[in-house]
Amino acid sequence: MSEKVSEKVSKPEDQAKSAIVTGSTSGIGLGVAEALARAGMNVTLNGFGDAGEIEAIRARIARDTGVEVRYDGADMTKPEAIRRLVEGAEEAFGSVDVLVNNAGIQHVSPLEEFPEAKWDAIIAINLSSVFHATKAAFGGMKARGFGRIINIASAHGLVASPFKSAYVSAKHGVVGFTKTIALEGAEHGVTCNAICPGYVKTPLVEKQIPDTAKARGMTEEEVVQKVILAAQPTKEFVTVEQIGALAVFLCSDDAASITGAALQVDGGWVAQ
Ligand code: NAD
């Protein structure tokens, strides 16, 4: 047995894996957290929202799946809180085997009017938090010889749209970070991949429809038909369940050779 292998802190085979999903009180993150819980992983939820609603979500997932589900309200703009999020999950569940960097926000406006504060917030939440969380979880994954890092990027990690300068910049950054960490984890059983969804009908998308209508001089219905669904050859929204199913597969042993990939789940958007 090589020194590297003997140093690994192995987890008993029958012990459930532990996953953190950032931004999982809503939308894609919630769907991914539910899918991982159904696959038998203990889950740490994170994100903002009404305390009572979050507790109801936590309790429902735990009841429906039989796994342990905890919640940590760490603000993804705060590096120290992100480190504590990872440490808290390690203490509660013994490890962080799966990290899904999902938390994200959007702002739509022409560059000349783009607020500096929105630029800073989008870079912090959509890009820098991915660095801070991954950095905090990476050492433990390497030591145990297993890890799955899944970054929820976007089709906008691969192509651009006007009026989304900060978001497109952050998501392209996430795809670059994903490739780098894939190389650093490759000999340690740690994979790192980006999922690049097209449009998924979540609060993040619903909130940007009025701003996009204003920026493009369209009605909101025109935005849905001519901007959102027009981008996707399938003319259908992607679903959170489709993203969750891919995340579960990426966590499997069968996905051990998939690393450094930017996997499009976008109804053919970036193929055009
Ligand atoms: P959403 O608004 O439904 O959920 C965002 C989640 O992030 C929520 O749980 C929210 O509380 C959390 N969050 C926001 N700011 C936070 C902060 N500072 N700290 C901690 N949590 C915070 O949005 P969504 O559509 O589910 O988006 C999830 C991810 O998927 C984002 O990274 C987004 O860019 C990406 N994405 C979404 C779409 C889409 O069409 N909806 C497409 C491609 C990529």
Q: How does pLDDT run across 201-223, given as a tens digit for each residue?
A: 999 899 889 999 999 999 999 99
Mean pLDDT of 47-62: 98
Bridge partners for 232 per DSSP: none
**Dist. CA 191–CA 255, nearest whole Å:** 9
Four-residue CA torsion sign, 143, 148, 152, 158 = positive
CA 190 to chain centre: 16
Residues with Cβ within 6 A of ligand 1? 23-29, 46-49, 75-77, 102-105, 125-126, 152, 154, 197, 199-200, 202-205
**Catalytic residue from among 93, 163, 167, 237:** 167
Distance of CA 67 from the midpoint of ligand 1 (Å): 24
Q: What pLDDT score was predicted for residue 93? A: 98
Q: Is the pLDDT of residue 165 over 90?
A: yes
Mutate to test the pocket of ligand 1, among 20, 28, 128 (most ligand atoms within 8 A of CB): 28
> Which protein residue has the closest C-alpha to ligand 1 atom 12?
23
| Domain ranges for the chain | 4-8+15-265
202, 241, 243, 265: residue to mutate for ligand 1 pocket, most atoms within 8 A of CB: 202
Q: How far is the CA of 33 from the centre of ligand 1 (A)?
A: 13
Per-residue pLDDT averaged across 90-104, rounded?
Answer: 98
Q: Rounded CA gap, 173 and 158, in Å?
A: 10
Q: Which contiguous run of DSSP H or E holds residue 192?
A: strand 190-197
Closest protein CA for atom 33 of ligand 1:
104
Look at strands 190-197 and 147-152 and give their pairing.
Answer: parallel
Amino acid letter for position 144: R
The atom of ligand 1 lying closest to the CA of 156 is 43
pTM, two decimals, is 0.94
Task: Tell me the CA–centroid distance for residue 6 and ligand 1, in Å.
Answer: 39
- Taking the centre of ligand 1 as the mean of its atom positions, its distance from the CA of residue 11, in whole angstroms, is 31
pLDDT tier at 12 (50, 70, 90 boundaries)?
A: low
Nearest atom in ligand 1 to the alpha carbon of residue 126 is 32
Look up 167 and say whether it is catalytic.
Answer: yes
Query: How far is the C-alpha of 135 from the C-alpha of 56, rounded, in Å?
Result: 31
State which amino acid sits at residue 72: D
Asked if pLDDT for residue 99 goes beyond 70, the answer is: yes
For residue 103, give the ligand 1 atom closest to its CA: 7
Between the CA of 161 and the centroid of ligand 1 the distance, in Å, is: 18
Mean pLDDT (the chain, rounded):
94
CATH fold group of domain 4-8+15-265: Rossmann fold (3.40.50)
Q: Are 87 and 81 in contact (CB under 8 A)?
A: no
Q: Is the pLDDT of residue 158 over 60?
A: yes
